[in-house]
Chains A and B, each alone.
Chain A
Amino acid sequence: MKRLSNKTAKLSLKRLLLANPWSFVIPILLGVSASLAGVALLGISGWFISATGLATAFGVGVFFNYLTPGAIIRFMAIVRTAGRYGEQVSAHNHLLSLLRTLRLWVWDQRVAKDAANLHEQSRGDLLQRLVSDLDQIIRWPLVVFLPWLYALVAYLAVAILAYVILPDLLWPLAIAGTFHVLVVPFVCGRIASHSVHVGQILGVHRRSRFVSLFSALITLTIRGHWKDYSQRLAQLDEKQRHTEMRIQQAVTLGRLLAYAVTILLLMSSILLLASTDPLSGRWVLISNVQGTWVVGYILSLLAVNELVLPLVQSFVAQGQSQVGLRRLNQLHHDALPQKVSSTDAIQRIECKEWRGFHGSSGMGNKVLDLTVESGEQVWVRGASGSGKSTLLASLAGDCLSSGNAFINNEPCELYNNLMYQTRLSYLPQSPYIFQQSIAANLLLGNPEASDETLWAALRAVALADWVKSLPNGLTTLLSFQGRNLSGGQRKRLALARLLLRKSPVLLLDEPFDGLDKATIETICHSLQNDYKPDILILVSHVGSRIGDSSRVIEL
């Protein structure tokens, strides 16, 4: 756990395995004992039955001690059941704690990202993929590592039996074991891994092409070109089908190979144990080898075969985990050195040759000089596309900028500077509303606020009446991204949240958009009285009382 929570660590399967070693030991022990008991159950039963048959044939059946082997067989049956059950429960417990660790890791990586890149990653489908990657990866220890370990341990156990019967048996056993546990799964995994990788890339590509084409469906249809475009979608699908087929072929072929190895192992073991008798034409076991033991040995080998068969599939699954890991590691971000600046309240913002712009398109406002002093209110106006919002976002440290900024006359880097950003409140054009209760959303502004404070903030943005009319009031749960709110309500709720922070600098991007005169009036009144900031910078295309009393900057 400690290793993973290290914020600068990259993810790897090894690290995943060692993330919480102690809670992983229990499922391993239980699983190993269950697997061994499964192999032993067959082996001992085989030996037991042949030994009893032999004893009777020799007429000593009455003296045969059947109690001990009988008890062992029953014990093995119970160990196999209880072990398997305990393994599943404890392994899943481990898995869930891994999920928690990984989620927090992803969270830390994302927190370390700067604003512009963060925006790119916040797209719904990207995040969705991230979440499903996580689910894929945490299953790795369970579906890949544990089965492999069980097969290995079972082989070791059978090796002991082989050694007891005839040390020479170790040779074919070692070779078969190498093939079963290492060569076949790894080779098939390798063959498939390329296809898995290609398949994942194709999947992403196919999906984005789908969204891209369907978003222009009508235009493409009426222009009569839909067919060409949708054919390309079909081609991608066809390619995907081929990769899928190759993966499946690798799995089935691997399983066939595993069977073949088992057959060869059985054959060579028998050849080592027996020699042909020229008189009867039958094969006779060489001296010092007990037939009953050989029976037990062969039955154990058949049981081991069952443990080996799933390995190929799980190694192909490993390829998927690795692709997921690679994608997660793209998130990886070395912790940013925090820019140091004073924590004094912002008295003065001065920007020289300032231009805010978007990283992707380079669009932004034209270069300007700007100074805002404490006690001032500024109204930024301009035609659509003049970069009002970009300018405000750059002042809030949310978007890339060029030029020099001075806070309280000291040079200061604004972009992604947490120390600076915590001292101001910024209402972006489309603020985010969380899928929580109204109260919980508001408390993000000030976790210590009392209910009365929350109501006051809601009154300040003229939302109090609406919240009162809701059957659950403040505890009303909001839907995903606040979809059950109108645009205006969403913005006002976010504004109320900001007002609760009581920060001296307020940057508002179009707070009045879509609101009626009376509501605008209420908000202006609040901003000029109870919630008056030291510095207010307002971007709006709507006139308001507060705008009229402000210094105007025309873009």
Chain B
Amino acid sequence: MSTMKRAKKTTRPGRVKTPEVAFLEKLAGQQSTKYRLAKGFGVLFAIALVLQAWALANVFSDMALHQSFSMSFLVLGLFALLVRALANFGRERVCASASRDIRYGLRRILLSHLTELGPARLRIEEDAALSTRVYEQVDALDDFYSRYKPQVFMVMLIPCVILLSVLPISRIAFFVFMLTAPLVIVFMIFVGHKAAQANRRQFGVLAMLSNQFMDLSQGLAELKRLNQTDQARVRLSESATNYQKTTMSVLILAFLSTATLELFASLSIAMIALYLGLGLLELLPWQVGSSPVTLTQAMFLLLLAPEFYLPLRQLGNDYHAKQKAEAAATDLLEILNVSVNQGVAKTTKTTDAADTVPSSQKVDTKDLLRFQKLSWLDAGRYRFAPITASIQAGDRVWLSGESGVGKSSLLHLLLGFEEKYQGDFLVNGQPFRSINLSAWRSTLAWLPQTPEWVNGSIRRNLLLGIDTPSDVALRAALVQSQCDEFIDVLPAGLETKLTELGSGLSGGQMQRLSIARALLSKADVWLLDEPCSGLDKETAQAVLVTLERASKGKTLLIVSHDTHPIAWANRHWVLTSGGLHEATV
């Protein structure tokens, strides 16, 4: 308890940093040099602003009073305006480049992180949705880094600079600014908070509306079959109208925040103008007959008045950028928080090194794979219970068990994507952590439930990542996997395109192509994850027969449910939550 209290004290009261905010700040920290440069440009901008107002005020008052003016003041004023423009130009460039560096760097990190996660990435979301996060969501941070973040500094800087320069000239104007600025901020926060809430709700409703549109659109074929497209149109139209009504009632409130700002800005400009005007006429009730300011000073104040509120107004406009960025950060953090946990693996490695050495001496090196009390404990829960078993080269092992017991996790471990295991895992007598991972992986072939395909021809997919084999070898692999039957009747043969859309090939045919690919890769160890579960019984049987013939002489570990028994496997393991036991074949 006491530590918690202390922890609370260190953070500012009432402002607990959410992980999203911390994440966004950490990323901004990478570009601190650029942001510092941007601040420098900001300071230049503010100075030029005051200089311009002062020079033009001199020109204006001379013009009004004497019908003449000094050209040097005019040139100075216009020069200050040019400096402002240049400072702004530099600031925008620097901030845009900082935002780019942050975003593209983050994207690289995300991509390599997802690569390291391997199959574990699918625990977060499917690939298409992940691509949205990696591209769209990362770009959603742009406005935050290129506009909102630098603007926060300007919002503090410019009013301060203006207040300082106003102070020696007119106390009254100083107080008008001093009084309205906090009021503006308070009202902004007050109304802005409400607006943010309303905004979030509106966002939710809009998402729902898009969802409805998506849902009806995706099922359009079905609606056509049911002859219900007109009813769906009416529904779309009605919900859009309803949405318009509810949103408008929300927006009327939300825009109040902008309106308050505008009101304060306009009124204080008007107030200062009137005060200055009356002051110049020497008609102010409390000092009739004398003027508090000269015309030049009055002009100076008038020129600065709108600039005082401008940065605040811009920040108000960019406020949604912050919300958007925080929403995106939530999604991105979800990816980055799924850890590969190599750090944990290293510590266990040192602790069990002592056990490994004696046990590995006992190990018969003719075992291709050996698991010794191998388990995987993730967040206090067993991904799979400790198992002890071994596989010799040439074994064809059928691994069955209920879903969720960790069959796929064991395969992912063999593929080298998970290193968070406990116990010993030996390959050819060597601890798995010490072997050359890429050499080990090159002996593997991977045949998952949904075969892995890239966009491109069947040929390109078969030869994915391997050296081009001779035509004879290719043909032989096709015949052995019985792909020749259906490829030969395809109009484009091996050049038929496989796309994300599917190709018109059936699930069984895709699995056969997978087998052909495994054969072509000359891998000795085949890992299969429920290769038949998406297929109907007949097709599954046929694929298994092909697999039996094609995989002779290879080492196989096939995960398959009892509904698709692997009759020809020479060993049958059953994995349960209690561990692994070998069933009689």
> Which of B12-20, B131-139, B152-160, B552-560 binds A?
B131-139
Verify B465–A223 contact, CB threshold 8 A: yes
Interface residues of A in 487-542 (CB under 8 A from B): 494, 497, 501, 510, 513, 541-542
Verify A497–B226 contact, CB threshold 8 A: yes
**Proximity string of chain B (52-82) to chain A, C-beta cutoff 8 Å, 1 when within and 0 when not:** 0000100011111111111100100010011
Q: What are the residues of chain A within 8 A of B86 when measuring CB–CB?
A: 256
Query: How big is the B interface, by class?
Result: 35 or more
Verify A128–B132 contact, CB threshold 8 A: yes
- Which residue of A97, A118, A210 is within 8 Å of B221 (Cβ)? A118
Verify B128–A73 contact, CB threshold 8 A: no
Q: What are the residues of chain B within 8 A of A108 when measuring CB–CB?
A: 233
A245 interfacial by beta-carbon distance below 8 Å: yes
A508 to chain B, nearest CB (A): 13
B173 interfacial by beta-carbon distance below 8 Å: no
Give the distance in Å from the alpha carbon of A283 to the alpha carbon of B269 in the complex: 30
- Known A50-B295, A122-B218, A398-B221: A267·B490 in contact at CB below 8 Å: no
Verify B248–A363 contact, CB threshold 8 A: no
> Which of A79-87, A369-377, A406-414, A462-470 binds B?
A79-87
Give the distance in Å from the alpha carbon of A77 to the alpha carbon of B259 in the complex: 12
A175 interfacial by beta-carbon distance below 8 Å: no
**Proximity string of chain B (302-336) to chain A, C-beta cutoff 8 Å, 1 when within and 0 when not:** 11001000100000000000000000000000000
Interface residues of B in 454-510 (CB under 8 A from A): 454-455, 464-466, 486, 490-491, 496-497, 500-501, 503-509
A319 interfacial by beta-carbon distance below 8 Å: no
- Known A103-B236, A103-B240, A291-B64: A226·B213 in contact at CB below 8 Å: no
Residue of B nearest to A38 (CB): B266
Q: What are the residues of chain A within 8 A of B466 when measuring CB–CB?
A: 223
Q: What are the residues of chain B within 8 A of A272 when measuring CB–CB?
A: none
Verify A259–B220 contact, CB threshold 8 A: no
Verify A107–B56 contact, CB threshold 8 A: no
Q: What are the residues of chain A within 8 A of B306 when measuring CB–CB?
A: 42, 303
Q: What are the residues of chain B within 8 A of A211 when measuring CB–CB?
A: 127-128, 131, 500
**Proximity string of chain B (191-209) to chain A, C-beta cutoff 8 Å, 1 when within and 0 when not:** 0000000000000000000
Verify B69–A282 contact, CB threshold 8 A: yes
B229 interfacial by beta-carbon distance below 8 Å: yes
Q: What are the residues of chain B within 8 A of A263 when measuring CB–CB?
A: 78, 81-82, 85
> Which of B28-36, B181-189, B368-376, B536-544 binds A?
B536-544
> Which of A160-168, A212-220, A338-346 binds B?
A212-220
Verify B128–A361 contact, CB threshold 8 A: no
- Known A49-B280, A85-B262, A259-B81: A218·B452 in contact at CB below 8 Å: yes
Q: What are the residues of chain A within 8 A of B131 when measuring CB–CB?
A: 125, 207, 210-211, 214
Give the distance in Å from the alpha carbon of A253 to the alpha carbon of B508 in the complex: 58
A127 interfacial by beta-carbon distance below 8 Å: yes
Verify B509–A218 contact, CB threshold 8 A: no
> Which of A147-155, A181-189, A430-438 binds B?
A430-438
Residue of B nearest to A50 (CB): B64
B287 to chain A, nearest CB (A): 13
B508 to chain A, nearest CB (A): 5
A345 to chain B, nearest CB (A): 15
B228 interfacial by beta-carbon distance below 8 Å: yes
Q: What are the residues of chain A within 8 A of B236 when measuring CB–CB?
A: 103-104, 107
Give the distance in Å from the alpha carbon of A249 to the alpha carbon of B108 in the complex: 23
Give the distance in Å from the alpha carbon of A108 to the alpha carbon of B452 in the complex: 36
B130 interfacial by beta-carbon distance below 8 Å: yes
Give the distance in Å from the alpha carbon of A383 to the alpha carbon of B535 in the complex: 12
Q: What are the residues of chain A within 8 A of B392 when measuring CB–CB?
A: none
Verify B504–A70 contact, CB threshold 8 A: no
B499 to chain A, nearest CB (A): 8
Verify B266–A77 contact, CB threshold 8 A: yes
A241 to chain B, nearest CB (A): 6
Verify A219–B464 contact, CB threshold 8 A: yes
Verify B222–A96 contact, CB threshold 8 A: no
- Which residue of B60, B266, B442, B501 is within 8 Å of A295 (Cβ)? B60
Q: What are the residues of chain B within 8 A of A270 when measuring CB–CB?
A: 74
Give the distance in Å from the alpha carbon of A219 to the alpha carbon of B81 in the complex: 60
- Which residue of A48, A54, A245 is within 8 Å of B100 (Cβ)? A245
A17 interfacial by beta-carbon distance below 8 Å: no
Q: What are the residues of chain A within 8 A of B441 when measuring CB–CB?
A: 221-224
> Which of A25-33, A55-63, A547-555 binds B?
A55-63
B207 to chain A, nearest CB (A): 10
Q: What are the residues of chain B within 8 A of A241 when measuring CB–CB?
A: 100, 104
> Which of B111-119, B355-363, B568-576 binds A?
B111-119
Interface residues of B in 207-229 (CB under 8 A from A): 210-229
Q: What are the residues of chain B within 8 A of A262 when measuring CB–CB?
A: 81
Q: What are the residues of chain A within 8 A of B255 when measuring CB–CB?
A: 85, 88-89, 92
Verify B501–A50 contact, CB threshold 8 A: no
- Known A237-B107, A291-B64: A41·B266 in contact at CB below 8 Å: yes
B564 to chain A, nearest CB (A): 13
A377 to chain B, nearest CB (A): 21
A260 interfacial by beta-carbon distance below 8 Å: yes
Residue of B nearest to A54 (CB): B64
Give the distance in Å from the alpha carbon of A362 to the alpha carbon of B372 in the complex: 52
> Which of A8-16, A418-426, A449-457 binds B?
A418-426
Q: What are the residues of chain B within 8 A of A285 when measuring CB–CB?
A: 63, 67-68
A476 interfacial by beta-carbon distance below 8 Å: no
Give the distance in Å from the alpha carbon of A365 to the alpha carbon of B353 in the complex: 61
Give the distance in Å from the alpha carbon of A294 to the alpha carbon of B274 in the complex: 19
Verify A115–B270 contact, CB threshold 8 A: no
A274 interfacial by beta-carbon distance below 8 Å: yes
Give the distance in Å from the alpha carbon of A283 to the alpha carbon of B218 in the complex: 73
B403 to chain A, nearest CB (A): 13
- Which residue of A218, A283, A421 is within 8 Å of B70 (Cβ)? A283
Q: What are the residues of chain A within 8 A of B62 when measuring CB–CB?
A: 291
A252 interfacial by beta-carbon distance below 8 Å: yes
Give the distance in Å from the alpha carbon of A208 to the alpha carbon of B313 in the complex: 40
- Which residue of A213, A266, A384 is within 8 Å of B538 (Cβ)? A384
A94 to chain B, nearest CB (A): 10
Verify B248–A295 contact, CB threshold 8 A: no
Give the distance in Å from the alpha carbon of A82 to the alpha carbon of B66 in the complex: 38
The 3 closest A-B pairs by CB, nearest first: A223-B465, A361-B504, A259-B85
Selected A-B contacts with CB under 8 Å, 7 pairs = A45-B269, A49-B299, A57-B65, A93-B244, A217-B452, A280-B68, A444-B226
